[in-house]
Chain A
């Protein structure tokens, strides 16, 4: 029972990691850039929703929608304003650019937030659900519902719709797409926006259940990477599965070994997977032997 309860809360956390990992994967597949500032975009989502709820007094759902919309715009702006401008340079330039704006976001958050760690007031005044001896909190329910809906919508959109087919084509061959007249720049901008927005949803969902601080971004970045590494880089399904597994693993490790180890489970996952089975569960071969 104890294990199941842990697994359940692990799944809730894992659902958020899955969302973060998926959002990173979207940006990576669509633009080949690995966004090392993505964790800070997620943090920004949580931060903005906090601002709207606590400082502006708006209801949670409205704040959430505003936060996601704002982050979408931010994602587009960053891509078009910063990333596109350095397209011609070395790849390490992109990574540094992503890292840099991540820090800027973190700095803004710290400037407004100060040194404190901030709790969000309880948002969902729903009673917890009892499944026999298992408890599912209202927050967990909302997370499951929101993430579940989003994932279904995403996969339907990407794999079943015509817009999704266009996206798939663009992911595979940009030059081909450009030849057919598709505006590749606009595509990049939109996909960054989508990635930022998805990440923001993760941030919005995690805000009510975590103590918020500007350094949250780094934590999400690592968990997102751990999920992607576990599931196999480049695989959307893998990112989701990886996130869920990571969430459960963290709780199990924390419950059975030591709570101190919860923080480093993600690091260990990354190191172990890349050292032992670099492709993860569903990924393509990534080790190059020269």
Chain B
């Protein structure tokens, strides 16, 4: 129950934030989902993967297309966006069932991710091609999400529910199986755990969460374009997970909160974005590879990642 203190405290933010700041906070909520979803594969499963922006994108496009072409209200597209992400996660990782591992699996995810992005560009009328799709006004059970504050509360609920579910998952046999695979896959198999299936499960869950994040992103930005979901965006995802803390749920949150606002500063300077985030990643890898969460855990041991429930 201590878990809900943070979201409850956060509920007070709109009282003090101006619309621009509120927009940034909303974007942080989106990236919290992106980071914790990615961390499941990168940090907990320990599998290098390049498909995260593709999963993000497919959720965004699914949400946008259902809203723009089929006229669905926003609340109805959230789960389909997640399911699309989950399906993509499944396809990106399915070769793991045949024994494909480590770098080869990473390369498959890279190929798959780029293939997806190619399909957005060449999707013509469905996806709007390189110009993308405009996202119609979002409707949440009758409430029009046209103010940042309205979006905030809806996003906050969604993010809280998903992060709590992941929190439960990590502190269960499923979470343990996933990190066991990371630490020693051969030994994991000796405990009657079907490792291939758990690898795919991690990707599917990651895809679900990141896909939903995509649908939130579509509503927040108002437009989905292929460029937002390519390799340039990916360095931001990597940075959030590493800076926050590989394998730490709390780390994913920290990383997202810390880095979301930064890209704004690089808007006018071509190349700064890649240099900064690449450089940040290098610095952390050299100096603090376990991320900010590890630092926090040093002062507050209760924050250390635990794979079982005490109560």
Which residues in A have some Cβ–Cβ distance to B below 8 Å?
Answer: 34, 36, 82, 85-86, 89-93, 95-97, 99-104, 106-112, 114-115, 214-215, 218, 221-222, 225-226, 229, 233, 260, 263-264, 266-268, 270-271, 274-275, 278, 286-290
Contacts and interface: CB of A to CB of B under 8 A. Distances in A.
Contacts, number: 149
Interface stretch (B9-17, B20-28, B111-119): B111-119
Q: Which of B108, B186, B235, B271 has the most chain A CB atoms closer than 10 A to its own CB?
A: B271
Contacts of B208: none
A271 to B, nearest CB: 5
Given A86-B289, A89-B289, A270 B108 contact: yes
B271 A108 contact: yes
Contacts of A100: 235, 238, 278-279, 281-282, 285
Interface in B197-246: 231-232, 235, 238, 242, 246
B107 A104 contact: no
Contacts of A96: 48, 238, 242, 281, 285
B56 interface: no
A222 B111 contact: yes
A271 B111 contact: yes
A106 B279 CA distance: 12
B108 A99 contact: no
Contact of A274 (B100, B118, B271): B100
Q: Which DSSP category, helix, strand, loop or mixed, fits chain A's interface?
A: helix
A86 B286 contact: yes
Contact of A97 (B95, B195, B274, B282): B282
A287 B100 contact: yes
Contacts of A226: 111
B275 interface: yes
A267 to B, nearest CB: 4
23 contacts: A82-B282, A91-B102, A95-B103, A100-B278, A100-B282, A107-B271, A108-B271, A110-B270, A110-B274, A115-B270, A225-B110, A225-B111, A229-B104, A268-B115, A270-B107, A270-B110, A274-B95, A278-B100, A287-B98, A287-B101, A290-B99, A290-B189, A290-B196
Interface string B276-296: 111101100110010000000
B270 A114 contact: yes
A166 B242 CA distance: 38
Q: Sorted from nearest, which 4 A-B pairs have the closest CB atoms?
A: A111-B271, A107-B274, A287-B99, A107-B275
A106 B271 CA distance: 7
B246 A104 contact: no
A215 B231 CA distance: 9
B272 A97 contact: no
Interface in B13-72: 42, 46, 48
> Which has the most chain B C-beta neighbours within 10 Å: A86, A96, A101, A215?
A96
Nearest to B47: A92
Interface in B104-142: 104, 106-108, 110-112, 114-115, 118, 122
B108 A107 contact: no
Given A274-B104, A278-B98, A104 B114 contact: no
Given A108-B271, A271-B111, A287-B100, A99 B238 contact: yes
A290 B185 contact: yes
A63 B133 CA distance: 44
Contacts of B186: 290
A288 B101 contact: yes
A104 B98 contact: no
A238 B275 CA distance: 34
B250 interface: no
Contacts of B300: none
Contact of A82 (B48, B185, B277, B286): B286
Nearest to B282: A100
B281 A99 contact: yes
